[in-house]
Amino acid sequence: MQLDTRAQTLLKALVERYIADGQPVGSRALSKISGLDLSPATIRNIMADLEELGYVASPHTSAGRIPTPRGYRIFVDTLLTVQHLDEHAVDARLRLPAQQPQKMIANAAQMLSSLSQFAGVVLSPRRESVFQQIEFLRLSEKRILLVIVDPRGDVQNRLLLTEADYTPAQLVRSANYINQNYGGLSFDDVRTRLTKELRQLRDDMGSLMQAAVEAGSEAMTDQSDDMVISGERNLLSVSDLSSNMSSLRQMFDMFEQKTGLMQLLDVSSKATGVQIFIGGESNLVPMDEMSVVTAPYEVNGKIVGTLGVIGPTRMAYERVIPIVDITAKLLSNALSHS
């Protein structure tokens, strides 16, 4: 249902007042702050309609109303007036050191946190799954350590649990075959070629090689260590997020496990521009009282990662949205010219 101008004005005034002080907003307060020349009875009728539509709710302990996730959504999508942010001032704060991408990313996370006073998060560019060489180490019967070395010399390890018990000689032969035939390729390319060639080999080492390719692909694309988070402690001072032990536990689990955040940031990397995920509305946000504002960033025109601000649902979106938007553009520019 399309809201008329009066309903939009009242909803906007209610959300802005609730974001500012966190208290349910009553009809009398709305008549003062909305700028509308309406009787208290008319305002109450409009608020009752908004409640019926699911945009506001009435806490049991108060005569006032608070926005629902649906109310926040229509506010950020259609009613919000985004504040202007001085891009040059932000650029000066970012202080991105050339030729050091990881420091640029860390600085961006810190700046998102500093400017918003919440938590800043940056998902680093996804690594390509290219390897230089692999090695198999027999740990015990049917347990093998896969050692992967990428072209930069970085090492990843993965444990393989196999159905057969391979001898050290078999492991060396398999590693040599993969290194000689596939070294320098991505695991995705190896998977395609290996499937065809194993039909010809008819070798009992085939299942080991396939297991190694699957584990290697996971290892090289695992981004659990590629997320930079800054300012988590800021959220401890947000009463909406830390008011009880259950909320605190949810919040710390989110930062410790990171898996939900990874999924959310990965989803937002497939969209353009700023995305807003509101708790209670999006299953990707682990807490009803939390929202995440994200934007993808690019290197030479290609989206490679995502950044954002994690804060309470009751955040000043008009401030946070331009912070996220400009930081994404500056990081894109800095990484493209590093």
| CA gyration radius, the chain | 26
CA distance 115 to 93: 10
User: Which residues are registered as beta bridge partners of 138?
Assistant: 144
Note the pLDDT tens digit of each residue in 64-98. 999 999 999 999 999 998 888 777 766 666 655 55
Q: How confident is the model at residue 206 (pLDDT cuts 50, 70, 90)?
A: confident
Scan for tokens 């006073």, then name that residue.
Answer: 117
User: Tell me, what's the pLDDT at 5?
Assistant: 93
User: Tell me, what's the pLDDT at 272?
Assistant: 84
CA distance 150 to 183: 9
User: Tell me, what's the pLDDT at 117?
Assistant: 94
Mean of pLDDT values over 211-220: 74
User: Tell me, what's the pLDDT at 205?
Assistant: 67
User: Tell me, what's the pLDDT at 326?
Assistant: 92
Which residues touch 124 (CB under 8 Å, ≥6 apart)? 102, 105, 223, 226, 227, 228, 305
pTM: 0.74
User: Which residues are registered as beta bridge partners of 67?
Assistant: 56
Per the CB < 8 A criterion, the answer to whether 241 and 290 are in contact is yes
Please give the residue that has the higher pLDDT: either 210 or 274: 274
User: Tell me, what's the pLDDT at 336?
Assistant: 82
Under DSSP, the state recorded for 2 is P
User: Tell me, what's the pLDDT at 258?
Assistant: 80
The type of residue at 251 is: M
Under DSSP, the state recorded for 153 is S
Least confident of 8-22, 74-88, 315-329: 74-88
Q: What is the mean pLDDT of the chain?
A: 85
User: Tell me, what's the pLDDT at 253?
Assistant: 84
Strands 290-299 and 302-312: antiparallel
Note the pLDDT tens digit of each residue in 104-127. 888 899 999 999 999 999 988 766
Q: What is the DSSP string of 259-327?
A: HHHHHHHHHHTTS-S-EEEETTT-TTSS-TTEEEEEEEEEETTEEEEEEEEEEESSS-HHHHHHHHHHH
Helices and strands per DSSP (H, E), number in the chain = 13, 10
Please give the residue that has the higher pLDDT: either 260 or 79: 79
Please give the residue that has the higher pLDDT: either 48 or 267: 48
Mean of pLDDT values over 21-27: 92
What percentage of the chain has pLDDT greater than the value 90?
36
CA distance 244 to 251: 11
User: Tell me, what's the pLDDT at 204?
Assistant: 59
Note the pLDDT tens digit of each residue in 157-205. 888 888 888 888 889 988 998 898 888 888 778 877 877 676 655 555 6
User: Nearest-5° angle of CA 27, CA 14, CA 295?
Assistant: 170
